[in-house]
Chain A
C-alpha cells in the first residue's frame, strides 16, 4: 500500500533525531496536562460548573482531550494546507494517482503528538474510575467507542475548516476557533453556554456528542436541557455524518482549486 509506505517513511524520518523527538513528545504531553490543570484550577474556586461536579466535568474533559489529541495526531496538520495552496505544492499531490486528502494526512503526520494521546488515555481511565459510573458491558463499550467517534468529529472539523484555504488563502487562524475552540467547548458541560452559541457549536457542528451526552449516559443522569437518553449513544452516528459532510466540503474545495502557478 502506497499510503503505508508514505506514512512509514514519515514516522521513520521524524524518529531519526531521538532526543529532539523525545522533547517534542514531552511538550505534547504538557499540552494534555494543560487541559486537566484548567479544570482543576476552576474547581478550586467553584464547587460546581453548569450543575456538574468535579468528577463529572473531569470525565468530559478527559473524553474531549482524548478525542482531540487523536484527531490532532492523525489529521491536525491538514491546517498546513494553506501553505501548500499558496506555494503551489498542492499541485504535486494532485498529479499523483492517490487521494489528495489521504496523501496530506500521511505526509504530515506529527508523530510527536502520540504523547498527548497517551496522556489523554491515562486521564480517561483515571476519570472513569473516579466518576460515579456503574459499569455494564454497554457502558464499557460506550467508554471505548466515544473517544474514537469524538476523534472523527474533530477530524472532520479539522478537514472542513482547512478547506477554507481553497477559497481564502489568508484565512490565518480562523479555523482555530472551531478546532481548538471546539476542544475548549467540549471540555465543559454545554449547559454553561448561551443559547445561540450552544446551538451553533453543540448541535450544528455536533460537538455535544464528543463528551457531554456520552458522559450523561455513563453517569446515568438525565439531560438538564431535556434531550432524550439515546443521545448518549448517538456519537458514532453523528461522527459518520460529520465525516461525510467534511468529505463533501473537501471535494468541493478541490474542484474549486486553482493553482497559483508558482
Chain B
C-alpha cells in the first residue's frame, strides 16, 4: 500500500518529465494537450492504476490451477458477480488512498489542471467506475484462461503490454496517428481503462463528446461482462479438479 503509492509517485515524476520534454521541444501543446492538462493526465493516471488495479496477481488462475475454485463454484452466487463485488469494494477504498496520494504529490510539485465544468467531476466518477469494471473484466478473462491453459503467464504478459501501451498509460493514445487512436478507443477495451477517464478529467472535447466516451465504456462493460459470463460457463464445463 505505502510501497505502491511511493512507486506510483516515482513513476509520476519519470513520466511527467518525458511529457514536459516533449512539450518544451515543440509548441506549447502536444496532441491537443496543454501542459497542465498533461500534468493532470500523468498524475491522475498514476493514481488510477491503483483504482482499476491494472496489474493484479493472477489469484483466480492460481485457484483454478489448484482446484480451490470449487469452493467459489459451490456458493449460490455466480463467481463473476462475487469477484466483481469484491473488486468494486477494493476500488472504492483505493480511490481514497491510492488515487489521492499521487494526485496530491503531483499538485504540490507541478501545476495541475483542475476541471472547469462542475459536471466533469460527476462524469469522471462515472468513468472511473466503468473503467474499474472494464479492467476487472479483462483481468477476469486473463485469469479464466487457466481453465484451458492452467498457466496464464502468456495471457498475463499480453495484457500487461497491451494495456500499458494502447491504454494510454505510457503516453496518451493521441500520440499515435489520429485514425489509429480513434480505432483503439472504439474497437479495443484498453483505452476505456486509463485513457478515457483521464480525457474526461482534463476536459478534452465538449461534454457531448465526453458522454459519447462514457457510452463507449458502457458498451465495453456490457460486452466484456457478457463474455466473462460465457467464458466462465464454458470453463466450468472444462474444469477438472486434480485429485490428490
Q: Which residues of A contact B (CB under 8 A)?
A: 20, 23-24, 27, 30-31, 34, 37-38, 41-42, 44-50, 170-174, 176-178, 181, 184-185, 188, 191-194, 197
Contact = CB atoms under 8 A, between A and B. Distances in A.
Residue of A49, A178, A185, A192 ringed by the most chain B CB atoms within 10 A: A192
A192 B161 contact: no
Interface string B216-240: 0000000000000000000000000
B30 A46 contact: yes
A188 B20 CA distance: 12
Given A41-B171, A42-B175, A49 B11 contact: no
A31 to B, nearest CB: 7
B189 to A, nearest CB: 19
A46 B157 contact: no
Contacts of B4: 172-173
B108 interface: no
B176 A46 contact: no
B153 interface: yes
A182 to B, nearest CB: 9
Interface stretch (B21-29, B69-77, B88-96, B191-199): B21-29
A47 to B, nearest CB: 6
Contacts of A38: 165, 170-171
A78 B170 CA distance: 26
Interface in B1-48: 1-4, 6-7, 10-11, 13-15, 17-18, 20-22, 25-26, 30-31
Contacts of B3: 170-174
B57 to A, nearest CB: 11
B154 interface: yes
A23 B17 CA distance: 34
B171 to A, nearest CB: 6
Given A188-B18, A194-B17, A177 B171 contact: no
17 contacts: A27-B158, A38-B171, A45-B175, A46-B21, A49-B21, A50-B21, A172-B4, A173-B4, A174-B6, A177-B10, A181-B11, A184-B14, A185-B14, A188-B17, A188-B21, A191-B21, A192-B17
Interface of A, secondary structure class, is helix
A177 B7 contact: yes
Contacts, number: 89
A24 B155 CA distance: 10
A178 B164 CA distance: 19
B165 A34 contact: yes
Given A45-B26, A49-B25, A172-B1, 11 more contacts: A38-B165, A42-B22, A44-B176, A46-B26, A173-B7, A174-B2, A174-B7, A177-B11, A181-B10, A181-B14, A188-B18
Interface residues on B, range: 20 to 34
A52 to B, nearest CB: 9
A44 B170 CA distance: 14
Which 10 pairs across A and B sit closest by C-beta, in order of nearness? A172-B3, A192-B21, A174-B3, A177-B10, A27-B157, A177-B7, A46-B22, A46-B25, A48-B25, A193-B17
Interface string B170-196: 110001110000000000000000000
Contacts of A176: 7
B22 A49 contact: yes
B136 to A, nearest CB: 20
A41 B166 CA distance: 12
B62 interface: no
B26 A177 contact: no
B87 interface: no
A24 B21 contact: no
A151 B31 CA distance: 35
Contacts of A41: 171, 175-176
A199 to B, nearest CB: 13
B16 to A, nearest CB: 9
A71 B164 CA distance: 23
Contacts of B170: 38
